[in-house]
Amino acid sequence: MSTGTIRGTRIREAVLPALVALGLAAVLGDLLILSFGESPAAVWTLLVKGTWGNAYGIGQVLYKATTLTCTGLAFAMAGRAGLFNVGAEGQLAAGGFGAAVIGLLLPSSLPAVIAVPVCLLAAMVVGGAVGALPGALRARFGASEVIVTIMLNFVVLALLNWIVSAKLHLPETLRTPDIAAGNVARLATVFPVFRGSAVNFTVLFAIAAAIASWWYLFRTRSGYELRAVGLQPDAAEYGGVQVPRVLLASMVISGALAGLGGVNFVLGYKGYYEEGFAGGAGFLGIAVALVGRNHPIGILAAALLFATLSQGGLAVNAVVPKQLTDILTAAVILSVATAVPEVQQQIRAAAANVTASLARKQTRGSAS
């Protein structure tokens, strides 16, 4: 079989399930719209005009897609190593908090060319540190990263909320003071057409992160080892790969990518850290990665899709309930989860990992 034929087959395998999922979601959407007594064509037209039909809508889609790209990449990086990171919500919040604290500590006179990279680095370091804990527990003790990351979300969010409410909040608020340095400029400062939208230059950092992730996974030795561990850890270990080190590294990188997403809101939009700003973007990143087949380029496309549905829900809210787009989002996720073999395998592996972890704990309890 020629290289071109193989490449074409891979492209079809990657694109076809997503197209089928979109088709099923569109059919379901038509039925729901008809149930409200509205015209599907009119509602879909309104959704497109409210998202990609004007500069403000495009800006809002890009803003939402930025965070989803980062959390999708975070899940994909762990997923490529055979891990199921459900902790991007906490890692995202921790990254935003780290960027906010450094931004508050830096002098306001510090040039943006220095302050912004420092804050970006802080976000990734703090997010990576949160990701390192479940990675270390998995690598050292075989603990289920699914259970650990789920529980760590509650711990991290509660800890950050306590720090803000007890030490950093403005009176009668649940947010920090305005950040003095490190704020990321909005795109409207260079492209006035985006005036009013929240999109900022963090979108470029997210695209750069996707490109860097692709290069790391498919063009470096470390990335090859990470993928080998995800496909067959025993064979990788036999080939000389230090599996525990790869597992830890994948979770650190995963957490760092999620932490980068926190910059979008904290430094690019509001200019302060606010309790609950993540808003489920960490969990939705799982869906973005699954629909994007854990490939950085696919994740960019999936992030735009889900961001379009999210912003589109606001655009059509006057005609049909906003929850319509939430249902469509769920339909896309379920369609991909049932149609793509790799997704089924990853979900089954995560479930098996949780079962094995619980069994080990029960065995230890019985032995003691």
Task: Give the pLDDT confidence score for residue 112 in this predicted structure.
Answer: 93
The pLDDT of residue 6 is above 60 = no
Q: How far apart are CA 261 and CA 146, in angstroms?
A: 21
pLDDT in tens, 273-298: 998 898 899 999 999 998 888 999 99
Query: What is the average pLDDT across 190-214?
Result: 96
* Percent of the chain with pLDDT strictly greater than 90: 70
- Tell me what pLDDT residue 131 has: 97
Tens of pLDDT, residue by residue over 102-118, are: 999 999 999 999 999 99
Q: Domains of the chain by range and CATH?
A: 20-367 (1.10.3470)
Q: How far is 283 from 350, CA to CA, in rounded Å?
A: 15
The pTM for the full model equals 0.90
Q: ∠ CA 208-48-187 to the nearest 5 degrees? A: 35
- Kindly report, residue by residue over 144-158, the tens digit of the pLDDT: 999 999 999 999 999
End-to-end CA distance of the chain: 58
Residue 279 pLDDT? 86
Comparing C-alpha atoms, which of 252, 295, 289, 256 is closest to residue 92?
256
**Candidate from 24-28, 62-66, 337-341 with smallest mean pLDDT:** 337-341
More confident call, 14 vs 134: 134
User: In angstroms, rounded to a whole number, what is the distance separating the alpha carbons of residues 350 and 59?
Assistant: 36
Comparing 2 with 324, the larger pLDDT belongs to 324
